[in-house]
């Protein structure tokens, strides 16, 4: 499979990102992001499917300010228009969202544009899209993506081996599952519930960070 690299790709900056937090709107969003970043999170996405635009803009403003105060890049899920409004660093779009080409037109060449992939065909299609990274998964079924079957570790490994861009594995990422993902070649991880449900997000993020470092060092 040919590895076609987009002229927009910012591989060098994203290669260093290992722990990508995907967080819904929550009242303590600034404190929560701060604790997660303190524990090792190095990229943050706001993913919220159930709010009207004005309320979503408010949460996005709060999240982007918290991230930028911490020196962390902020990605908006689905909505390049809101990403533009709040000064986000980029947007992540799924297969049923606006196409990456349109997101790129709205946000410009310097923005980060990410793309969800779930199958080898979607991966192939992504090779010619103006994006900077892909996500692969969910590795296992997850309540954050109801109705979607798990892709298994094999797809995450395949995507990592074939994509010229950073590949972030998503779905069921925990300290216990990270070693097998790292052994399969994964170097970038998206986490949702392990942090959003944690009573101590700092310690939970630290456990993930330590598991990633140890697993990558050993693989």
Quick check: is 135 in a domain? no
Q: What is the CATH number of the domain that holds 25?
A: 3.20.20.70
How much is the pLDDT for 59?
A: 98
Quick check: is 8 in a domain? no
Quick check: is 46 in a domain? yes
Two structure tokens written together for 79: 């909505």
Where do the H-state alpha helices sit in 47-200? 53-69, 80-86, 100-107, 120-126, 152-162, 178-183, 193-196
Quick check: is 202 in a domain? yes
How much is the pLDDT for 146?
A: 67
Quick check: is 77 in a domain? yes
Quick check: is 11 in a domain? no
Two structure tokens written together for 158: 């395949």
Quick check: is 162 in a domain? no
How much is the pLDDT for 219?
A: 82
Instruction: Find the domain containing 94 and state its range.
Output: 17-113+169-218
How many domains does the chain divide into? 1
Quick check: is 195 in a domain? yes
Q: Report yes or no: 95 and 85 within 8 Å, Cβ to Cβ.
A: no
Q: What is the pLDDT along the chain (219 residues), one digit of tens a residue?
A: 333 333 444 555 899 999 999 999 999 999 999 999 999 999 999 999 999 999 999 999 999 999 999 999 999 999 999 999 999 999 999 999 999 999 999 999 999 999 999 999 999 999 999 999 999 999 998 776 666 688 999 999 999 999 999 999 999 999 999 999 999 999 999 999 999 999 999 999 999 999 999 999 998
Two structure tokens written together for 88: 């986000």
**CB-based burial label for 121 (10 Å; 0-12, 13-18, 19+):** exposed
């Amino acid at each position: 499979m040919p590895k076609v690299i987009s002229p927009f790709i910012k591989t060098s900056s994203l290669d260093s990102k290992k722990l990508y937090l995907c967080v819904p709107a929550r009242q303590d969003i600034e404190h929560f992001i701060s604790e997660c970043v303190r524990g090792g999170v190095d990229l943050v996405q706001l993913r919220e499917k159930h709010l009207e635009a004005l309320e979503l803009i408010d949460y996005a403003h709060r999240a982007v300010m918290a991230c930028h105060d911490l020196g962390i890049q902020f990605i908006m899920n689905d909505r390049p228009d809101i990403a533009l409004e709040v000064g986000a660093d980029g947007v992540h779009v799924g297969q049923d969202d606006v196409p990456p080409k349109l997101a790129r037109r709205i946000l410009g060449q310097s923005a980060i544009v990410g793309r969800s992939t779930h199958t080898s065909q979607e991966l192939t299609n992504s090779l010619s899209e103006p994006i900077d990274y892909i996500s692969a998964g969910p590795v296992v079924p997850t309540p954050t993506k109801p109705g979607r079957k798990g892709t298994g570790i094999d797809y995450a490994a395949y995507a990592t081996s074939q994509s010229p861009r950073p590949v972030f594995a998503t779905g069921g990422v925990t300290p216990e599952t990270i070693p097998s993902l790292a052994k399969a070649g994964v170097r970038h991880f998206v986490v949702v519930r392990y942090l959003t449900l944690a009573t101590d997000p700092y310690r939970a993020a630290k456990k993930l960070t330590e598991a990633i470092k140890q697993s990558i060092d050993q693989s």
